[in-house]
A = this chain, B = another copy of it.
């Protein structure tokens, strides 16, 4: 299969959520123009994105919602469940762990780690916070698919290295610092400061 750009994959995810909304409204068929409006792009972009994976639209009609949604779930690898480990048990981690949306979408939190003795042992949403020292050992016996880093900036690279050592192949980084991982490990970063600074730039240039 040809390599698909990250921006394309992100749009596919948006199309899927749009499709779910359309299905909930009882629309059994949907046009590229409708998907474009909800995905914040153009109809040509939608068609091009989908055409990478074959042609499952009907000319003159559009796409069958349920069928396309199933295909997108397949492409995105969402037909299986994923296990997550959180590293860092601060307020942000607590908010994320208690968010029901992850579980609903098949992302199950298996473990939470921290170094602070005052939070180790607490139970969040059914998951007990464990000592970070046990992480690598735990994950070797009981692997997870995705590691979520929610530590302060200065701990992020060390945690990354440990996750890599434990065999984790995907990392979601919320720490306000870029992290480096080997090429076979996928990393996505969410940097709130960076988003605010991008808005700051936009506000001061108009």
Give the number of times this chain occurs in the complex, counting copies. Answer: 2
Tell me the residues in window 51-78 of chain A with beta carbons closer than 8 Å to chain B beta carbons: 75-78
Q: At the interface, yes or no: A95 with Cβ under 8 Å from chain B?
A: yes
CA gap between A6 and B91 in the complex, in Å = 30
Interfacial chain B residues near A145, Cβ < 8 Å: 203
Q: Report the contact-size class of chain A (Cβ under 8 Å from the partner).
A: 35 or more
Q: At the interface, yes or no: A155 with Cβ under 8 Å from chain B?
A: no
CA gap between A80 and B193 in the complex, in Å = 15
Q: Do A13 and B197 contact each other (CB < 8 Å), given the known contacts A95-B94, A101-B176?
A: yes
A178 contacts B105, CB within 8 Å? no
Tell me the residues in window 137-182 of chain A with beta carbons closer than 8 Å to chain B beta carbons: 145-146, 169-172, 176-178, 180
Query: Chain B residue with minimal CB distance to A199?
Result: B170
If A13-B198, A170-B199, A186-B203 are given as contacts, then 12 extra A-B residue pairs at C-beta distance below 8 Å, sorted by A number, are A1-B205, A4-B205, A13-B197, A38-B178, A75-B201, A91-B98, A92-B95, A95-B95, A101-B176, A172-B196, A186-B199, A188-B199
